[in-house]
Chains A and B, each alone.
Chain A
Amino acid sequence: MTDFISNPDAKHKSGKATKIALRWFLLLLLLIFALYYLMPLFVMVTTSLKSLEEIRTGSLVALPREVTFDAWKTAWSGACTGIQCQGLQPYFWNSILIAVPAVFLSTLFGAMNGYIIAHWKFKGANLIFSMMLFGCFIPFQVVILPMARVLGMMGLAGSIQGLIFVHVIYGLGFTTLFFRNYYVSIPGELVKAAKVDGAGFFRIFWSIFLPLSLPIIVVTVIWQFTQIWNDFLFGVSFSQAGTQPITVALNNIVNSTTGVKEYNVDMAAAIIAALPTLFVYVVAGKYFIRGLTAGSVKG
């Protein structure tokens, strides 16, 4: 009789134990993966803090014996990109000048497009949306030549404005998709109610849709900023000496050193180039996840 009672209990206990073991195993696995992914970053950071002497003699994965920020200084303001030796600094500002307006404009237009496609259906709206979606998946190599022609005709070739234009155009597919998918979950009766209340197209967008859009704006801004900041292809194709973005400059630094390769400077430069996107993820990452999974709007 006692057996009968205590048996299920024991079973329960052993089940719990397996569960805990399983969880630890899972955590361990995740930890290994995390370390694996963090390894390159670790090597980059440590290498950037070493002197060239130490890099040559020491091991790749060893911590720096003597921490020095010389490589960072050089990368920022002294490294040579071809004939100029001003470091990444001017190109960093170029990238900011390109990314900030391009992110802002592509997000704004994407929101507008999404709003129209989701709530102001017109003849051919679906066709236009499909074409925009198609635009998301065009390999950008295909458009380089025609785009160069267009920029030339517009007189924007080689300029910062030209790069902004290109990024806004090719960002629209994704930003429109994001906003459209978010806005279709907003009930159409809200628009109808606002129309009866006397509000027009822009008023409804401004007073009702934009205040609801924070999660999807965060998603879009992160996405666009990452895309534009990390872009190399457009940057290298459509810029000239003074207007190159940081990715192009980084490439030039790494490839144009003559003589001894300054690994520490290369690493520091790479980290500097990646910092802004890293920063954006750390600051807004949790909103990113939240925005991607945000459900319908409750009234």
Chain B
Amino acid sequence: MSPILKVKNLVKNFGSTEVLKDINISIESGDFLVLVGPSGCGKSTLLNCIAGLEPISAGEVFIDGRNMTDVSPKDRDIAMVFQSYALYPTMSVAKNITFGMKVRGVDTETQKRKLAEVARQLQIEPELNRRPGQLSGGQRQRVAMGRALVRDPKLFLFDEPLSNLDAKLRVEMRTEIKRLHHDLGASMVYVTHDQIEAMTLATTIVVMKSGVIQQIGTPAEIYGRPQNLFVADFMGSPAMNLIKAKATKNGAGTKIEISRENSAPLILTDTQNTNLPENVILGLRPEDIAEASMRSGPQVQTATCLVDIVEPAGADTYVMSKLGGKEVTARLHAETGAQPGQLLEFAFDLGKVSYFEPETGQRLN
């Protein structure tokens, strides 16, 4: 079976500025692809190119095996939810939702049935006769979703659909979207700024920067094995600790040396990764640094460090210590008794460690 969406060597220029550079993406039917990246990296542009709303400068777009490069948006069998919702201001909610069917000449019986179906699904039945201007942000959001859902297309495109909602509503809608995806088995391309949205919704995450794809992978791969420093730093909150270190061969393993102010360097021994250059950046997520008593395992190394800052955050407490010239964050239990200025024994889980080449930023292990 051919992939539901295939983007091949896509390039997009606005005048002389190259906004998308050699984009290659392929997803299977039922996949949930999430596009993430800093503002202005070209996510919306890519979505518009897939939809056919922006002409592409080079490359090809296939939807369900068909070359859509020169096909107009209305014939691509896609539905799109826009960042600003883009509801038709003079039409009622019902008319907004049925507009697409009306344009396509679907008979009124079917229109009514589908409208009722979607309105029930999204719980907007009481709002059907109102204008978009009379709706709350969350209701508008759902109308925009409804407009896409009645279409039953091959591919859904969502451009930061939850960005305008408050935190609580966003969580609700996130669950809603996840359920919709599950129920419909639909294929989706979804743009977001929100890390958690990306991690919870995606089957595949694409990380972009300045129009270049940095990494494509499952949420676990992106989170656990970032391919370069940009991805490592961009995904995860608080961000991955990226620490300058010196590696030297030491028998069967590698001696990792991290300089510290006012005390002897921190020494760890990595028995798994043996072929490292001398200068590396060591990456460890905050949750992979714990109190020594709380963590054990074959790759866990302990060392005593000075606690600088303690930040309780509800379920967890973040503790910072200065290593390699930077504040390194460890995620400890809320009940930890750690105090600033105290010496504490930490456990470093080297089973989860990432190494990066400092110059190129590429992953080494």
Q: What residues of chain A have their CB less than 8 Å away from a CB belonging to chain B?
A: 187, 189-190, 192-200, 203, 207-208, 211-212, 297-299
Nearest residue (CB) in A for B151 is A197
Task: Please state if B90 and A196 are interface contacts (CB–CB under 8 Å).
Answer: no
Contacting residues, chain B, for A299 (C-beta < 8 A): 84-87, 89, 132-133, 140
Chain A residues near B51 (CB, 8 Å)? 192, 196
Please, which residues of chain B bring their CB within 8 A of the CB of A297?
Answer: 89
Instruction: Scan residues 262-314 of chain B and give those whose CB is less than 8 A from a CB of chain A.
Output: none
Asked whether any CB of chain A lies closer than 8 Å to the CB of B80, the reply is yes
Contact status A196-B80, CB under 8 Å: yes
Closest CB of chain A to B76's CB: distance in Å? 8
Question: Distance in Å from the Cβ of A295 to the closest Cβ of chain B?
Answer: 13
Residues from chain B with a CB closer than 8 A to the CB of A211 are 90-91
Q: Which residues of A contact B91 (CB under 8 A)?
A: 207, 211
Within 8 A of A (CB), among B48-105: 48, 51, 53, 72-74, 78-80, 82-91, 99-100, 103-104
User: Interface size of B by Cβ–Cβ distance < 8 Å?
Assistant: 27
Q: How far is the CA of A198 from the CA of B72 in the complex (A)?
A: 9
Contacts of B73 in A (CB 8 A): 192, 195-196
CA distance A203 to B132 in the complex (A): 20
Pairs across A and B, CB under 8 Å, 21 listed: A187-B84, A187-B86, A189-B84, A189-B86, A190-B86, A192-B51, A192-B53, A192-B80, A192-B82, A192-B86, A193-B87, A194-B88, A196-B53, A198-B74, A198-B100, A198-B103, A198-B104, A203-B103, A299-B84, A299-B86, A299-B89
What is the bound-complex CA distance between A297 and B91, given in angstroms?
A: 13
Among B74, B85, B87, B147, the residue within 8 A (CB) of A195 is B74
In the complex, which residues of chain A have a beta carbon less than 8 angstroms from the beta carbon of B74?
A: 195-200
Question: B80 contacts A298, CB within 8 Å?
Answer: no
For the complex, give the distance between the alpha carbons of A192 and B147 in Å: 13
Chain A residue contacts of B53, Cβ below 8 A:
192, 195-196
Write the chain B residue with the least CB distance to A195.
B73
Tell me the bound Cα distance from A130 to B53 in angstroms: 26
Known: A199-B74, A299-B140. A212 touches B89 (CB 8 A): yes
Residues in chain B near residue A196, CB distance under 8 A: 51, 53, 73-74, 78-80, 100
A200 nearest CB across to chain B (Å): 8
Chain A residue, CB-CB nearest to B85: A299
Residue of B48, B83, B84, B100 near A197 (CB, 8 A) is B100
Chain A minimum-CB-distance residue to B100: A197
